[in-house]
Amino acid sequence: MDMALTPEDREIRERARAFTQAHLFPHELEMDRTGTLRPEVVKSIEQAVRAARLNAVNHAMDVSGQGMSMVQQCLVNEECGKATGELWAYVNQPPLPLRDATADQIERFLKPACNLDLHIAYSITEANAGSDTSAVTTTAVKDGGDWMLNGEKWFVSGINYCTVVMVHAHVDGDPDKPAVFMVDRDTPGLTVGHSPRFMMGGVDEHPEMTLKDVRVGNDRLLGKVGDGLDITKEWFVEARLAIAARCCGMGVRAAEEATSFVVNRKQFGQPLADFQGVEFMLAVMATRIMAAKSLLYRIAAEIDAGLERKLIHAKASAAKLYCSEEMGRVVDTALQLHGGRGLIRDYAVERLYRDIRVERIWEGTSEIQKLIIAGQIKKRGLGVYSELS
Ligand SMILES: Cc1cc2nc3c(=O)[nH]c(=O)nc-3n(C[C@H](O)[C@H](O)[C@H](O)COP(=O)(O)OP(=O)(O)OC[C@H]3O[C@@H](n4cnc5c(N)ncnc54)[C@H](O)[C@@H]3O)c2cc1C
């Protein structure tokens, strides 16, 4: 089994690492202190994303993406994920299902999004439809040749700077007719409401959004009526792999910061790193990182080798579950190793500690990933997870 990176993979990793260090890390404290970045800074980051050829790494070159393999996408997400304050969100990845859009939709939405000229949010969740997406009550009703959308969405990440929102609705209120619509942010009837403050500050706000008689043309329907759940699931799968990769980046950065700290900090007349209790913590962090990355990159390599779509869904859940849970433990240990300094917001571990918590919740909680995995075991057998393919 060959898990070695190619020279091209290594070049991409180094490019993403250099970009993150030069263009994301320097803005972390401004983001943490003010909760936002100045427009000129955002512009300079977006220019740097383009210059580093890191925009739309998840899309093919003929739609203005970078045409990267899944292993390469994970390398980019791991490196950019090291930045706190969700600064990785500037390294845009337009939702994957758009690759199956109509030619017109690809020209209007996907290509500009790949070029960072258009930003897209994705809204599924509602007050009473969280883990259970079938409980969505946002409706789409045909009105002449158009669609009228009505409903209320929650946690619409990035609507503060997006230009288009993908809305998951039920046609005629029928859960068997899910559909996804591309809605311009400034369409009459679409209003952004309460924007709660979250434990992690970052690029995205996650407000509520109301749709009241929002009229969109039939050209705004993605795929067909009834395709909505498959479209949303495809987006979940790609988001889960990206989360797993970012979590690995967070774990690596936290462990590096902690290692450097305990090598340099002396107590009881010697570096902390020389106490066996501390050595054990370093060893456990390193082993957890190695296990998480081994899982993630094995799945990524399987996807690049042509893994069946249903199995990608099954394995992405395992990657998200394991990487978010285990890297959460690594970040916790790294903070502990910093002592009181670990609670000071100027230290990266403090911000990583706040940032990583949401990774066990969004795009399906850990419990939902476990339900998916258990369902796959019952349907296909344990071999999906236990056998090497
Ligand atoms: C910062 C942030 C940004 C987000 N951005 C977006 C976005 O851009 N678009 C979007 O559509 N959504 C977004 N979400 C919503 C997110 O996907 C949901 O919060 C998540 O899916 C969980 O839903 P919920 O919060 O309603 O929790 P619930 O579904 O109410 O779950 C509460 C608890 O019950 C557990 N639980 C639920 N069902 C089961 C079960 N069957 N068995 C065992 N345990 C169960 C859950 O694991 C959880 O621990 C965002 C959320 C956050 C926090």
Shared domain for 244 and 361, answered yes or no, is yes
Letter string b/e over residues 210-249, b meaning 16 or more CB atoms within 10 A of that residue's CB: ebeebebeeebbbbebebbbebbebbbbbbbbbbbbbbbb
Q: Report CA(242)–ligand 1 centroid distance (Å).
A: 17
Q: Report CA(353)–ligand 1 centroid distance (Å).
A: 20
Ligand 1 within 6 A of 85 CB? Answer: no
Residue 250: its pLDDT value, please? 98
Residue 109 domain flag: no
Ligand 1 within 6 A of 240 CB? Answer: no
Nearest to 318 by CA among 364, 286, 353: 364
Q: What is the CATH number of the domain that holds 251?
A: 1.20.140.10
Does 161 score more than 90 pLDDT?
no
- Distance between CA 86 and CA 346 in Å, rounded? 16
Q: What is the CATH number of the domain that holds 40?
A: 1.10.540.10
Residue 187 domain flag: yes
Residue 160: its pLDDT value, please? 86
Shared domain for 239 and 217, answered yes or no, is no
Residue 110 domain flag: no
Tell me the pLDDT band of 311, cut-offs 50, 70 and 90: very high
Q: Which two tokens stand for residue 348?
A: 């990266």
Shared domain for 259 and 305, answered yes or no, is yes
Shared domain for 39 and 130, answered yes or no, is no
Q: Residue 330's CB: how many other CB atoms inside 10 A?
A: 28
Shared domain for 238 and 363, answered yes or no, is yes
Which of ligand 1's atoms lies nearest the C-alpha of 158? 8
**Mean pLDDT along residues 213-239:** 97
How would DSSP label each residue in 250-300?
HHHHHHHHHHHHHHH-EETTEEGGGSHHHHHHHHHHHHHHHHHHHHHHHHH
Ligand 1 within 6 A of 362 CB? Answer: yes
Q: Report CA(126)–ligand 1 centroid distance (Å).
A: 10
Which of ligand 1's atoms lies nearest the C-alpha of 367? 47
Shared domain for 41 and 128, answered yes or no, is no
Residue 1: its pLDDT value, please? 80
Residue 104 domain flag: no
Does 169 score more than 90 pLDDT?
yes
Query: Do residues 92 and 117 make contact, with C-beta atoms less than 8 angstroms apart?
Result: no
Which of 180, 199, 222 finishes a domain?
222
Residue 338: its pLDDT value, please? 98
Q: Report CA(86)–ligand 1 centroid distance (Å).
A: 19
- Distance between CA 90 and CA 93 in Å, rounded? 9
Residue 139: its pLDDT value, please? 98
Backbone φ and ψ for 217, nearest 5 degrees, come out as -75, 165
Query: Do residues 57 and 92 make contact, with C-beta atoms less than 8 angstroms apart?
Result: no
Q: What is the CATH number of the domain that holds 217?
A: 2.40.110.10
Residue 9: its pLDDT value, please? 98
Shared domain for 309 and 333, answered yes or no, is yes
Q: Which two tokens stand for residue 251?
A: 């774990």
**Mean pLDDT along residues 225-252:** 97
Ligand 1 within 6 A of 139 CB? Answer: no
pLDDT in tens, 317-341: 999 999 999 999 999 999 999 999 9
Shared domain for 257 and 350, answered yes or no, is yes
Which of ligand 1's atoms lies nearest the C-alpha of 366? 47
pLDDT in tens, 189-211: 999 999 999 999 888 999 999 99
Residue 115 domain flag: no
Tell me the pLDDT band of 2, cut-offs 50, 70 and 90: confident
* 123, 134, 155, best to mutate for ligand 1 pocket (most atoms within 8 Å of CB): 155
Ligand 1 within 6 A of 122 CB? Answer: yes
Nearest to 49 by CA among 300, 110, 245, 41: 41
Residue 29 domain flag: yes
Ligand 1 within 6 A of 370 CB? Answer: no
Q: Which two tokens stand for residue 114?
A: 């790949």
Measured by CA distance, the residue closest to atom 43 of ligand 1 is: 367
Shared domain for 371 and 244, answered yes or no, is yes
Shared domain for 130 and 184, answered yes or no, is yes
Q: What share of the chain has pLDDT > 90, as a percent?
A: 97
Residue 107 domain flag: no
Q: What's the pTM?
A: 0.97
pLDDT in tens, 41-93: 999 999 999 999 999 999 999 999 999 999 999 999 999 999 999 999 999 99
Q: Which two tokens stand for residue 15?
A: 């490019």
CA 359 to chain centre: 8
Ligand 1 within 6 A of 198 CB? Answer: yes
- Distance between CA 364 and CA 355 in Å, rounded? 17
Shared domain for 359 and 217, answered yes or no, is no
Tell me the pLDDT of the chain averaged across its residues.
Answer: 97
Three-state DSSP class for residue 94: coil
* 131, 161, 233, best to mutate for ligand 1 pocket (most atoms within 8 Å of CB): 131
Ligand 1 within 6 A of 156 CB? Answer: yes
Which of 170, 205, 222 finishes a domain?
222
Number of domains forming the structure of the chain: 3
Please give the residue range of the domain that contains residue 286. 229-386
Which of 94, 129, 153 finishes a domain?
94
Residue 388: its pLDDT value, please? 87
- Distance between CA 75 and CA 69 in Å, rounded? 10
Residue 1 domain flag: no
Query: Do residues 304 and 228 make contact, with C-beta atoms less than 8 angstroms apart?
Result: no
10 Å CB burial of residue 62 (0-12, 13-18, 19+) is exposed
Shared domain for 243 and 380, answered yes or no, is yes
Ligand 1 within 6 A of 200 CB? Answer: no
